[in-house]
Amino acid sequence: MTHALTSERVEVAADGEALYELSLEGGWGDGVPILAATDERILAMLAATPLATDHVIGALPPQYGVATVELVAVNAVMAGCQPAAFPHVLASLEAILTPEWNAFGLTTTTSSVFPMLIVNGPSRDDLQIDYRAGCMGGAGGRGSMTIGRALALCLRNIGGQRAGETSRCVFGQPARFGMCFGEWEERSPWPSLARRRGFRPEQDVVTAHGGKGTFPLADINNDDPHDLLHLIAKSLAFPLSNLYLGGTGENGEVVLAINPIWSDRFAAVFPAVESLQEYLWDHAWQPIDLWPAGNQEILRSNGRVDDDGRVSLVRRPDQIVPIVCGGLGSLHAIALPSFGESQMQSAATVTAAPS
Amino acid sequence: MTSRSTIAIRLPTTRPPATEGAPAFTVDAPIAGKVVGLRTDLAWRSWKLIAREWAESIHLAGATTLEIETVAQVGKEGHDDRAAVNAWSEKVDFGIVGLGTCGSCTSFSVYDAVALEDHEKPSLVVVCSEFETHARNMARFIGHPNLKVLVLPYPLEARPAGELLEIAEEYYPQALELLGVQA
């Protein structure tokens, strides 16, 4: 396929620092040095997808800039993506542009929420997508660091998302630089997230979760899997969760990343992931009298309090989403709390046929 | 002395599609006899109180109100809300939509206010001052740059009810004026 590039072309001094300065001055960088989006690099990126250069992935909120494959490729080059990772960037865009992900709301909210990308599939290792020690930050795999960054740059440069301007985020979060990690499928006693969402094992799949941050959980004092899961569930149901704010608890998922040592312990008593989710859901509630009177009144009027005075975090067990990843040091889990008004979305990659 | 060589790069940005902007509508008539839509959402108690106060004033002026409360942005509840806003837009003569006092609730207030304009009905979105620019931006981004915006003080939450009622009284005439209601 031949590609005629149409995005705006400028000349810049051929040293990295000048490009970096230009990106800062132009407001199209993310504060960290970028790679030069030369035609050669863009064309290499475009060769990794069967989609036409001018194919429109969608209009990205908040400004509804049109994301053509070419513009996405420019941003992916800047982020440092390998061409082989470009289909993952495109899949991540497809996922967040699904209306139920609510990019319209999430790109403009005061919340820190941002797309957190969870990757399944056979390309995970080749692309250096981190799924073991330090997978949510620090491991430094090229795929992890650049796929999420490419998506963040697309939101900035095509969608026009700018903190304090079009985005009303109060704090933001480190993941707004880009967050992408894999599931340690080989160590998971349960079907992978992608399998549970209807994809085949040979497919590379990106799942976008509207996550508010990384919420750490730790324990060294408990040997009983039921008791430990009880404590995890209670921790997920922290009283100032977005899921207790104004809504009914019908929307949004909480991702629970479990380390492989703990997942083995949990699978011994919950061999089916659905039974694990059911148990977590059954304990992810707080007593209404935990909240002060004003909050109690609102939770009651929103129909959130059951006959036993329990306020469940979410309406259904499937809204608590366990995945397996992280190092073998055990002791820890990470929750990725939900924005609430967003539903997790997945998309499979589409790659170019080998030439 | 060395010469500085250059390279050509592509820029990663795009401009939003240019639109003329959808028309905005005004009432251009007295309020008596009209059906006035009031949209609140589940989240903002302050706005519910102000809207309730305005509903009383509207009734005293000889008009009726049709009130709707939205709950969600996505999922079945979100779909139901948007369908209800559309049906509501058909039934009212004009409408007032609030409250924009967070990022996504401002975006969705603008979105629901635009539903009225799509039905060629006068529409007013109510936001707090911190979110005025955001509301105007979002209206522009979705093709309705002329959407009328009423700006209330910020923040409204955590104010005593008495203060909120004073704000309701103070800003009610401005709301009617922006909508083009004649005395």
**How much of chain B, in percent, has pLDDT values that exceed 90?**
93
pLDDT in tens, B46-65: 999 999 999 999 999 999 99
Let me know: does A107 contact A161? Beta carbons within 8 Å. yes
Quick one: tokens of B52? 């309730």
Cα–Cα distances (Å) from B97 to B114, B124, B138, in that order, read 10, 6, 15
Which residue from A53, A41, A39, A49 is spatially nearest to B10, judged by alpha carbons? Answer: A39
CB-closest option in B15, B43, B106 to A246: B43
Q: Which residue from A minimizes the CA distance to B138? A: A62
Q: Which residue from A minimizes the CA distance to B15? A: A65
pLDDT score, position B2: 46
Q: Report chain A residues whose CB lies below 8 A from the CB of B8.
A: 9-12, 38-39
Strand partners, A216: A334
- Residue showing tokens 């599609």: B17
Residue A211 makes CB contacts below 8 A (sequence gap 6+) with A113, A114, A115, A116, A175, A179, A255, A336, A337, A338, A339
Cα–Cα distances (Å) from A100 to A64, A156, A217, A308, B99, in that order, read 17, 21, 29, 32, 22
Let me know: does A254 contact A314? Beta carbons within 8 Å. yes
Phi and psi at residue A210, to the nearest 5°: -80, 90
Quick one: tokens of A298? 């609102």
Spatial separation of the C-alpha atoms in residues A255 and A352, rounded to whole Å = 32
pLDDT in tens, A230-247: 999 999 999 999 999 877
Identify the DSSP state of A92.
Answer: H
pTM of the complete model: 0.96
User: Which three-class secondary structure state does DSSP give residue A242?
Assistant: helix
pLDDT in tens, B8-20: 999 999 977 777 8
Distance from CA of B37 to the nearest CA of A (A): 22
Question: CA B110 from chain center: how many Å?
Answer: 5
- Cα end-to-end span (Å), chain B: 78
Let me know: does B126 contact B99? Beta carbons within 8 Å. yes
| B102–A246 C-beta distance less than 8 A | no
Identify the DSSP state of B69.
Answer: E
Let me know: does A108 contact B45? Beta carbons within 8 Å. no
| A13–B103 C-beta distance less than 8 A | no
**pLDDT at residue B183 is higher than 50:** yes
For chain B, say whether A44 makes contact (Cβ under 8 Å). no
Q: Report chain A residues whose CB lies below 8 A from the CB of B6.
A: 11-14
pLDDT score, position A3: 77
Strand partners, A324: A258
| B103–A250 C-beta distance less than 8 A | no
Handedness of CA A329, A324, A186, A282 (dihedral sign): positive
User: Which three-class secondary structure state does DSSP give residue A287?
Assistant: strand
Give the burial string for A319-350 (b: 16+ CB within 10 Å, else e).
Answer: bbbbbbbbbeebebbbbbbbbbbbbbbbbbbe
Quick one: tokens of B174? 């401005």
Chain B interface disruption, residue of A102, A248, A296, A318, most B CBs within 10 A: A102
For chain B, say whether A7 makes contact (Cβ under 8 Å). yes
Q: Which residue from A minimizes the CA distance to B41? A: A246
Chain A interface disruption, residue of B104, B108, B127, B133, most A CBs within 10 A: B104
Q: Name residue B4's amino acid.
A: R
| A42–B12 C-beta distance less than 8 A | no
Identify the DSSP state of A163.
Answer: B
pLDDT score, position A1: 64
Residue A39 makes CB contacts below 8 A (sequence gap 6+) with A5, B8, B10
Spatial separation of the C-alpha atoms in residues A118 and A209, rounded to whole Å = 8
| A153–B12 C-beta distance less than 8 A | yes
**pLDDT at residue B3 is higher than 60:** no
CB-closest option in A111, A153, A250 to B77: A250
Which residue from A259, A200, A272 is spatially nearest to A232, judged by alpha carbons? Answer: A259
ipTM for the predicted complex comes to 0.93
| A7–B10 C-beta distance less than 8 A | yes
| B12–A110 C-beta distance less than 8 A | no
Chain A interface disruption, residue of B3, B4, B6, B10, most A CBs within 10 A: B10
CB-closest option in A100, A102, A158 to B14: A158
Residue ranges of chain A whose pLDDT lies below 50: none
Residue A145 makes CB contacts below 8 A (sequence gap 6+) with A80, A178, A180
| A104–B78 C-beta distance less than 8 A | no
Q: Which residue from A minimizes the CA distance to B102? A: A110
Q: Pairing state of beta strands B148-152 and B94-100?
A: unpaired
| B71–A62 C-beta distance less than 8 A | no
pLDDT score, position B4: 66
Distance from CA of B80 to the nearest CA of A (A): 13
CA count, 13 A, side-chain hemisphere, A323: 32
For chain B, say whether A302 makes contact (Cβ under 8 Å). yes
pLDDT score, position B1: 43
Cis check: omega of the bond before A354, within 30 degrees of 0: no
Spatial separation of the C-alpha atoms in residues B159 and B140, rounded to whole Å = 31
Spatial separation of the C-alpha atoms in residues B32 and B165, rounded to whole Å = 23
Taking only Cα atoms into account, the Rg of chain B, rounded to an integer number of angstroms, comes to 19
Residues 336-355 of A with CB under 8 A from B: 341-343
Torsion of CA A80, A158, A197, B107, to 10 degrees: 140
| A61–B104 C-beta distance less than 8 A | no
Q: Which residue from A minimizes the CA distance to B45? A: A298
CB-closest option in A14, A71, A157 to B7: A14
CB-closest option in A38, A78, A108 to B104: A108
Spatial separation of the C-alpha atoms in residues A108 and B134, rounded to whole Å = 8
Let me know: does A94 contact A347? Beta carbons within 8 Å. yes
Torsion of CA A94, A96, A100, A103, to 10 degrees: -130
Cα–Cα distances (Å) from A262 to A225, A255, A256, B116, in that order, read 8, 15, 12, 53
Distance from CA of B129 to the nearest CA of A (A): 13
Tally DSSP H helices, then E strands, for chain B.
Answer: 5, 8
Tell me the mean pLDDT in the region B153-159: 95
Residue A189 makes CB contacts below 8 A (sequence gap 6+) with A263, A264, A266, A267, A271, A324
Question: Which helix (H) or strand (E) is B182 found in, with range?
Answer: strand B181-182
pLDDT score, position B19: 73
| B104–A341 C-beta distance less than 8 A | yes
